[in-house]
Amino acid sequence: MPLVAHNDLPSFSRLRTEGVTVLSRERADTQIIRELHVGLLNMMPDAALEATERQFLRLVGESNPIAQFYVHPFTIPALPRGEQGQAHIGRYYESFDEIREQGLDALIITGANVTHADLSEEPFWEPLIEVIDWAWDNVTSTLCSCLATHAVMQFRYGQKRVKQARKVWGVHEHRVLDKRHPLVADVNTRFDVPHSRWNDISAAQFASADLHVLAESEEAGVHLAVSPDGLRTVFFQGHPEYDTVSLLKEYKRDLLLAAQGKLPQLPPFPDNYFDVFSRSVLNEFAAQVAAGGKPEFPEPLLLPHLDNTWHDTAEAVVGNWIGCVYQVTHSDRKRPFMDGVDPGDPLGLYKK
């Protein structure tokens, strides 16, 4: 903390209104404090583009008081965009060439919408692999979110995601498996994380790739894992960045699509998210739609009944990640590690 508004990205203004500390570039320049430059490869579709920006900016900005954070959003041109989304990217985002030229201390890669069973057939595959390859040699740590985790597991470790019979959807309890690792230091040994995915990389697949699982759920599987060195790549399968309303918006989208005949059936409720009252309200709404009515979606009735049971832990884990990056990153962000840091064990986890 704090974020630095080094450009006029609208998300900075939105976060200020929420109480997140965001410095102007002029004020930041007057303070003697170290900068950390974090890339945000945002591959989300237009409808979620700006919300995803804010979610990750918020986690980074709230994470740690030791640095000023310059977040550099960029995307992959091969992803389909509408006029509004393309205009937003054209005005506020940087190019990968600019990112590569200036260097980064850390990188976050978001999820994306897919249309193929095999990720290597997606239009973003080759450009994404180019970013992943560059980051491996030039960025201290890359945090992969959901689909990005699946892409890296397939590309770098030969582990393909597996389609599940039922969507992993809802808020699930997880247990920390290795309390000694600095990414989960002082984090509750049990904590919640939202999930929203049809595909899964199992604990056995992570183990087969010699990766270290740090947090897992009996119902939702692995959420948090790291590369063998403990830091170079951090894997999320869940969505700790989600807002309180994110799952509600996903449910609303699917419910309305089903009402229009674009989905074969009504979506199930996300696990452990709606209370009894909310389920009753939604069942009544679905019944009215099925009877040919056109009621307004009852969002105002539902909002007071939604709880966020994951954000504080998400903030703590991302804060720990930023702290680890800070400890080992060279002040010249084109050099991923400080002198004397072992790239194979940057955190000193395996010293004898």
Q: How many CB atoms lie within 10 A of CB 91?
A: 11
Which of 146, 174, 181, 315 does the annotation list as catalytic?
146
262 Cβ neighbours under 8 A, 6+ residues apart: none
Indicate the SS3 state at residue 114. Answer: coil
Indicate if 239 belongs to the active site: yes
Residue type, 260: Q
Say how far apart CA 306 and CA 237 lie, in whole Å: 22
- Where do we find the tokens 């703590």? 316
Which of 62, 239, 315, 324 does the annotation list as catalytic?
239
Indicate if 311 belongs to the active site: no
Residue 35 phi/psi, 5-degree rounding, is -95, 145
Indicate the SS3 state at residue 56. Answer: helix
Say how far apart CA 54 and CA 145 lie, in whole Å: 15
Cα 255 from chain centre: 24
Say how far apart CA 200 and CA 109 lie, in whole Å: 18
Helix orientation angle between 83-92 and 46-61, rounded to the nearest 10 degrees = 30
Tell me the C-alpha to C-alpha distance, in Å, between residue 51 and each of 6, 55, 75, 108, 230.
Answer: 19, 6, 15, 15, 29
Residue type, 40: L
Q: What's the half-sphere exposure (Cβ side, CA atoms, 13 Å) at 126?
A: 4
Concatenating the DSSP letter of every residue in 268-335 gives: PPPBTTS-HHHHHHHHHHHHHHHTT--PPP-HHHHGGG----SHHHHHHHHHHHHHHHHHH--SSTTS
Sign (positive/negative) of CA torsion 311, 319, 143, 104?
A: positive
Which of 53, 216, 241, 315 does the annotation list as catalytic?
241
Active site residue ranges: 146, 239, 241
